[in-house]
Amino acid sequence: MSVCLAGVDASERRGGWDPDSDGRRATLESPIRTLLESHAGTLTAADRLTLVPDTHYPFHPSSGMVTDPAVVAALVDHLEGRTTAEIAVAGISDDRIGFDRTADYLGYPTILESTDATLVDLADEPRRNQVVSVDGDRLSLTVPERLLESTVVVVPTLRPTEDGPVAGGMRTLERFVSSVDDSELTALAATRAAEPVLTVLDATTAYGGDPVAADTLLAGPTPQVDALASSLLERSIADDSALENAFGVSVPSITVETPNDGVSVDVDSLRRRLPKGELPPPDDMHPAVTAAYRLYATVSGDAVPPQLEQGP
């Protein structure tokens, strides 16, 4: 199986994060078109499309910790030009924060207002029990019906999880299911239940101890994209139960395709540029950081993240 890489033209980055989401969206038009070309038939034949970005918390997109909404908007733009399918962008509320608040903070309502796509909180949608066979075991899941009845495209980020393995498409989907089994393979079971037709990994900004402008998008089958993401962050598949079981006993052989009509991507060079660290410790931020971010939010009009709201 192959994974396609497309570079993003960063010539207008102007030395830092560009807050203009419309500008980022326009820059992403060409690489998104290139990535989706080989999947056009499957996507255009769908009646319902559900895009599942990484919106686990309202971090700023420049952190690399959540999917850049501009990537999702560029995907919607491309799909709406080629299909009459109903398109939804899905998230889920949890015990920390509601999806509507996360979506507002990240700017989804604004960036999607020129499209017909709808924002959907899958915490409010009907769910269905599913039993999925993984590594000889049968895992019982409760899955949102929308993920079972529509064509799913996962849009994760290139970052590690708190435990170390790559977050990726499988663990993005894991957030949407509940399971009575406390299993390391729930992420794989969730992926097999939802059967995503494609994963588009947002590595425009990646995180591995520090954010870095990787200016890259990857697309392909979910396990293969996750395996390549693990390689880029120098994580071992043997240390990731979900990935290891996705491929069985064999070491995955993944063909990396880089299109000739876009910005070239050198995988080895990209791997060397990416940080090799973990997520930051969940400690309280220094008061100076809190004060500085609040000042930035006041000047820019950006929202203050929930984790800073109760600080000194």
CATH architecture entry for 2-278: 3-Layer(aba) Sandwich (3.40)
Nearest to 292 by CA among 266, 264, 272, 311: 311
Cβ(146)–Cβ(125) below 8 Å: yes
For the segment 283-292, what is each residue's pLDDT rounded down to a tens digit?
Answer: 656 566 667 6
For the segment 140-196, what is each residue's pLDDT rounded down to a tens digit?
Answer: 999 999 999 999 999 999 999 988 899 999 999 999 999 887 778 999 999 999 999
For the segment 266-310, what is each residue's pLDDT rounded down to a tens digit?
Answer: 889 999 999 888 887 766 565 666 676 677 777 777 677 666 665
Phi and psi of 25, rounded to 5°?
A: -60, -45
pLDDT at 312: 47
Q: Domain extents for the chain?
A: 2-278, 280-311
Query: Which residue did the predictor score with more confidence, 197 or 183?
Result: 197
Q: Report how far residue 296's alpha carbon sits from residue 289's, in angstroms, rounded to the nearest whole number.
A: 10
Other beta carbons less than 10 A from residue 301's beta carbon: 8
Other beta carbons less than 10 A from residue 119's beta carbon: 16
pTM to 2 decimal places: 0.89
DSSP state of 91: E
∠ CA 133-136-137, nearest 5°, is: 60
Nearest to 233 by CA among 203, 260, 257, 256: 203
Q: Report how far residue 189's alpha carbon sits from residue 178's, in angstroms, rounded to the nearest whole number.
A: 11
